[in-house]
């Protein structure tokens, strides 16, 4: 029995790398199907192999998290690519992604793209906004001129992390991935996206070693619905709210209608972004109105 990490999956085969760097091609035993378990890239597994291309996965160790797209487990960091323009910046989408990542215990790194396309006035607004987010998350700004150097800086600031790149369509995920690992040569641009639509379902998923880190070779575009999150958990997924909540009069304050709420006071005083609070209220309403799922 050998232990290792799944680094690639393709058509029912799983390439597993051991701690000593040896690679084995394996398949999953049939009993995983009975348990409704599927091995995922990033899984820590136990396997048996007579030869390097004839192994069988026997056990999948417990996961700390998993994503649906790309199908991966045990991620440490997500680089969230957000366009400043084209498409227009959406604080709602960004905050939704951040809440989801916090819930999955994946550390967000924020990359704001297309800064070079901003007018002076727009740039001032984005700088004020990113300065706020930078209090709670690592933040990088990139445009055509400095994309490559920013990508290098992001990688050098991360250490032994399993990383996925995610964000809205057209924000520049593939462009950033190509800078992080030029060997990828991913297609970029809307036309190639239209041509490749539907291809992602059969695409292999790989974790590529880049420096000390492992990078998913395909962007993440998990649905950003706040499933499985309760209304009590939601405020804990906003680190800026957590910074003030000790001052709330009531324990378990939801920062909505309760008197003596330090978070609402911080919003009124401009210490918490109004957009963050409005998005939080919207997410809370969506959770409360969510229909129960019957199995």
Annotated binding residues for Zn(2+), as ranges?
Answer: 248, 253, 255, 261
Q: Where is the binding site for GTP, in residues?
A: 113-116, 167-175
> Does 81 sit behind a cis peptide bond, omega within 30 degrees of 0 on the bond before it?
no
- Residue 111 backbone phi and psi in degrees, to 5: -120, 110
Distances (CA, A) of 8 to 32, 78, 158, 220: 18, 18, 22, 15
Return all residues near 101 (Cβ < 8 A) that are at least 6 apart.
78, 80, 107, 108
Q: Where is the binding site, in residues?
A: 113-116, 167-175, 248, 253, 255, 261
The first and second tokens of residue 24, run together, are 């084995």
Cα separation, 75 vs 63, in Å, equals 9
């Amino acid at each position: 029995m050998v232990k290792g990490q799944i680094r690639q999956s393709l058509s029912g085969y799983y390439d597993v790398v051991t701690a000593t760097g040896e690679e084995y091609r394996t398949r999953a035993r049939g009993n995983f199907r009975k348990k409704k378990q599927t091995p995922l890239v990033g899984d820590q597994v136990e396997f048996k192999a007579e030869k390097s291309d004839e192994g069988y996965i026997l056990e999948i160790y417990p996961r700390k998290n998993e994503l649906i797209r790309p199908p991966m487990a045990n991620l440490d960091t997500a680089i969230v690519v957000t366009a400043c323009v084209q498409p227009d910046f959406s604080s709602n989408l960004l905050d939704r992604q951040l809440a989801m990542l916090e819930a999955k215990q994946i550390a967000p790194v924020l990359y704001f793209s297309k800064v070079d396309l901003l007018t002076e006035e727009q740039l001032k607004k984005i700088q004020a906004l990113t300065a706020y987010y930078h209090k709670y998350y690592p933040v990088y700004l990139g445009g055509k001129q400095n994309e490559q150097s920013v990508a290098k800086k992001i990688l050098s600031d991360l250490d032994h992390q399993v990383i996925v790149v995610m964000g809205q369509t057209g924000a520049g995920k593939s462009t950033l991935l190509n800078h992080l690992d030029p060997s990828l040569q991913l297609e970029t641009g809307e036309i190639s996206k239209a041509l490749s639509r539907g291809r992602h379902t059969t695409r292999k998923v790989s974790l590529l070693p880049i420096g000390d880190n492992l990078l998913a070779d395909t962007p993440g575009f998990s649905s950003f619905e706040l499933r499985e999150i309760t209304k009590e958990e939601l405020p804990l997924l906003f680190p800026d709210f957590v910074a003030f909540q000790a001052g709330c009069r009531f324990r378990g304050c939801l920062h909505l209608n309760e008197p003596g709420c330090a978070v609402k006071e911080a919003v009124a005083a401009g210490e918490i972004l109004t957009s963050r609070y409005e998005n939080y209220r919207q997410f809370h309403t969506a959770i409360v109105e969510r229909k129960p799922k019957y199995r």
